[in-house]
Amino acid sequence: MRPGALLLDLDGTIFQGRVLIPGALETLLFLQKAKIPYRFITNTTRMTKKKLVLMMKDMGLSVSSDDIFAAPHAAAIYCQNKGYKKILLTVPDREMEEDFSDFQLVDYNPDAIVLGDMGAGFTFNLINDLFNHILGGSELVAMHKNRFWKSADGYSLDVGAFVSALEYASGRPASIMGKPNSNLFVLASREWSLPAEKILMVGDDIEGDVCGALNAGMKSILVKTGKFRDETLQSSDIKPGYIIDSIADLPGIIDLD
């Protein structure tokens, strides 16, 4: 198998916490030498792309902002296409406001709530305020709907749990921007002008990465690092094209002939 290009998940696939997954750097060098283009695709909403690039540089990876496509970009594009002017941006890193500079950022009467993972900032008061905005007519635009994620300290609830709570309470579905929404995969790969079946997605999340790739018509590889859990794989109807122990094993299944 020789893909035309690859989309690579970051947290849990390339690094865990602030440490590279063993073999990640060597695999990226392999792809560069083989002249197979790749791009990182992430649901991360806890930091801006600039901070993400700096963090990866500290790990020994030289990347640019253009190498990363993140859920906030998809949210901004969505809100622009909907014609929204006023946004209630609910994210932990206020520097992310730069990505939404085309909008009027407000605290009251927003056209849409753009919601990222607030972590410990998810208080009752915050959730209740967002709930009342939704009842008042604001659309909930969730950057993603991941159930949980794994940090160096263990598993943590992700924004999806709180999105579901708001959907349940308001009776109104959120618009989901990140993985597994196929739109994120399409936007991240559009510059390659390749058929979807020529693009390979590699990630640790069977729902976000594998199902998202399938939704977009792409092939997929599931790695057994990060948030991977064997019981989740066994109970899921979602079937990855390949399963490997880690990103270090990726070169072994890519045919360069």
Q: Which of 114, 134, 124 is nearest to 176 (CA)?
A: 114
Within this chain, do residues 185 and 231 fall inside the same structural domain, yes or no? yes
Residue 94 lies in a domain: yes
Within this chain, do residues 127 and 35 fall inside the same structural domain, yes or no? no
Domain count, the chain: 2
Residue 138 lies in a domain: yes
Banded pLDDT at 233 (limits 50, 70, 90): confident
40-75 tens-digit pLDDT? 999 888 788 888 899 999 999 989 888 999 888 889
Within this chain, do residues 76 and 171 fall inside the same structural domain, yes or no? yes
Residue 145 lies in a domain: yes
Name the residue range of residue 242's domain. Answer: 5-43+179-253
Within this chain, do residues 154 and 222 fall inside the same structural domain, yes or no? no
**What pLDDT shows up at residue 156?**
86
Within this chain, do residues 81 and 99 fall inside the same structural domain, yes or no? yes
Within this chain, do residues 23 and 108 fall inside the same structural domain, yes or no? no
The SS3 of residue 40 is strand
- What is the average pLDDT across 25-33? 95
Indicate which CATH number applies to the domain containing 110.
3.40.50.1000
The SS3 of residue 188 is helix
Within this chain, do residues 78 and 167 fall inside the same structural domain, yes or no? yes
Structural contact between residues 54 and 22, judged by C-beta atoms closer than 8 angstroms = no
Question: What is the rounded average pLDDT for all residues in the chain?
Answer: 92
Within this chain, do residues 39 and 80 fall inside the same structural domain, yes or no? no
Residue 59 lies in a domain: no
**Alpha helix stretches (DSSP H) within the chain:** 24-33, 49-58, 71-82, 124-135, 159-170, 182-189, 212-215, 230-235
- What is the average pLDDT across 161-183? 94
Best-predicted range by mean pLDDT among 185-194, 196-205, 231-240?
Answer: 196-205
Within this chain, do residues 140 and 184 fall inside the same structural domain, yes or no? no
* Beta bridge partner(s), residue 221: 202, 242
Whether 126 shows a pLDDT value over 90: the answer reads yes
Banded pLDDT at 257 (limits 50, 70, 90): low
Give me 97's structure tokens. 């406001």
Residue 51 lies in a domain: no
Number of H helices, E strands in the chain: 8, 15
Question: Which of 141, 176, 211 is the last residue in one of the domains?
Answer: 176
Residue 206 lies in a domain: yes
Within this chain, do residues 172 and 183 fall inside the same structural domain, yes or no? no
- What is the average pLDDT across 98-114? 94
Within this chain, do residues 39 and 109 fall inside the same structural domain, yes or no? no
E-state strands within the chain: 5-8, 15-16, 19-20, 38-42, 68-70, 86-90, 104-105, 112-115, 139-142, 148-151, 154-157, 175-176, 199-203, 219-223, 242-244
Within this chain, do residues 167 and 186 fall inside the same structural domain, yes or no? no
Structural contact between residues 211 and 16, judged by C-beta atoms closer than 8 angstroms = no
Whether 152 shows a pLDDT value over 80: the answer reads no
Banded pLDDT at 95 (limits 50, 70, 90): confident
